[in-house]
Amino acid sequence: MSETTEKTMSARDYKSDLKPIWCPGCGNFGFLNALYLTFQELQLQPENTAVVSGIGCSSRLPGYVKTYAFNGVHGRVLPFASGVKMSRPETTVIAVGGDGDGFSIGAGHIGHAARKNINITYVVLDNNIYGLTKGQASPTTPLGVKTKTTYYGNMGMQFNPVRMLIAYKASFVARTFSGDPKHIRKVLVEAIRHNGFSFVEVLSPCVTFRGKDQFKIIRDKVRYLDEQHHADNELEAFDVANDEKELALGVIYKKPRPTYDEIINADVTTKAKAVSHGKPKVNKLMDQFKP
């Protein structure tokens, strides 16, 4: 008989030996520290936890965490994370990446992971820019902002990730800010505990390519949701998401429903029973493939 012994974990135990090489002051530090504390609060066991990413400054994060970790290819964080979860359902899977990784090259994957309700937590460290490749516009760069690729000012409208994810039928959608690690932790604990696909947008300034004043700009623009907000009401959640002048922080939408693996397991079990009761049908089907 195998025995599993759970180790009591402190935040420090989740730190890998690699030292982050992010620029001093990068918003990603606040998130990383909050992540260690979240793991401690949930007492996640490293052998049952996987942090998976794409490519970007933010996607370096799995290297700094002492759990299973995978730094994949640009834009493919969700297929990797979904694969890990489907093959190892007992694993807590955290997918991490940037706004470029998630909403540009990887945009095609989000809707499907969300609508299928794959039981993972997807965190986008949204800095409104491509950081790693040195400052090109991303899908969340605000209108009019001058970047390396938008010399005359960004001409495309900025994506609204929270609104997008509610529309994609994600069962949990939240927004938080790397200038408030306590809030990140509160939101992340709830996101990881949520049974289903949870999406968390972290406003996480790139101080190098968006400017050091981004923390102040964001702080002046956010408000905290309280118990007056009904996160299970989709229309109310859309109203909150639609407000782009004052950005709401907290759990904006949450409506649990069966997860992808729960549906598959129930379905496969039912079908397996039907097949075993009706063997001739399967044989008849297989006969078609005989020479």
Ligand X SMILES: Cc1ncc(C[n+]2csc(CCOP(=O)(O)OP(=O)(O)O)c2C)c(N)n1
- Out of 31, 172, 209, 215, point to the residue binding ligand SF4 (CB under 6 A): 209
Q: DSSP H helical segments within the chain, as ranges?
A: 28-42, 77-87, 99-100, 107-116, 161-167, 181-193, 214-221, 234-242, 260-277, 279-287
Tell me which residue of 192, 171, 196 sits closest to 262, measured CA to CA.
196
Strands of the sheet with 198-203, listed across from one edge: 68-71, 49-53, 92-98, 121-126, 198-203, 172-177, 247-254, 222-224
Q: What backbone phi and psi angles, to 5 degrees, belong to 200? A: -130, 115
* Least distance CB 28 / ligand X (angstroms): 7
Q: What is the distance between the alpha carbons of residues 188 and 196, in angstroms, rounded to a whole number?
A: 14
* Least distance CB 5 / ligand X (angstroms): 37
Q: What is the distance between the alpha carbons of residues 37 and 188, in angstroms, rounded to a whole number?
A: 10
Summarize as ranges the residues that interact with ligand X (CB under 6 A).
Answer: 55-58, 74, 97-101, 105, 125, 127, 129-133, 138, 206
26 binds, among ligand X, ligand SF4, none (CB under 5 to 8 A by kind): ligand SF4
Under the binding rule (CB under 6 A), the answer on residue 207 touching ligand SF4 is yes
Confirm if 44 and 93 have CB atoms less than 8 A apart. no
- CB under 6 A: which stretch of 7-15, 42-50, 111-119, 207-215 binds ligand SF4? 207-215
Under the binding rule (CB under 6 A), the answer on residue 26 touching ligand SF4 is yes
Beta carbon nearer to ligand X, 1 or 157: 157
Beta carbon nearer to ligand SF4, 114 or 125: 125
55 binds, among ligand SF4, ligand X, none (CB under 5 to 8 A by kind): ligand X
- Out of 11, 15, 23, 73, point to the residue binding ligand SF4 (CB under 6 A): 23
Confirm if 187 and 200 have CB atoms less than 8 A apart. yes
**Structure-block tokens of residue 213:** 């004043």
110 binds, among ligand X, ligand SF4, none (CB under 5 to 8 A by kind): none
23 binds, among ligand SF4, ligand X, none (CB under 5 to 8 A by kind): ligand SF4
- Out of 69, 81, 137, 206, point to the residue binding ligand SF4 (CB under 6 A): 206
- Out of 30, 62, 106, 131, point to the residue binding ligand SF4 (CB under 6 A): 131
Angle at 182 between CA 160 and CA 97, to 5 degrees: 40
9 binds, among ligand X, ligand SF4, none (CB under 5 to 8 A by kind): none
Q: What is the distance between the alpha carbons of residues 217 and 175, in angstroms, rounded to a whole number?
A: 16
* Least distance CB 106 / ligand X (angstroms): 8
Under the binding rule (CB under 6 A), the answer on residue 145 touching ligand SF4 is no
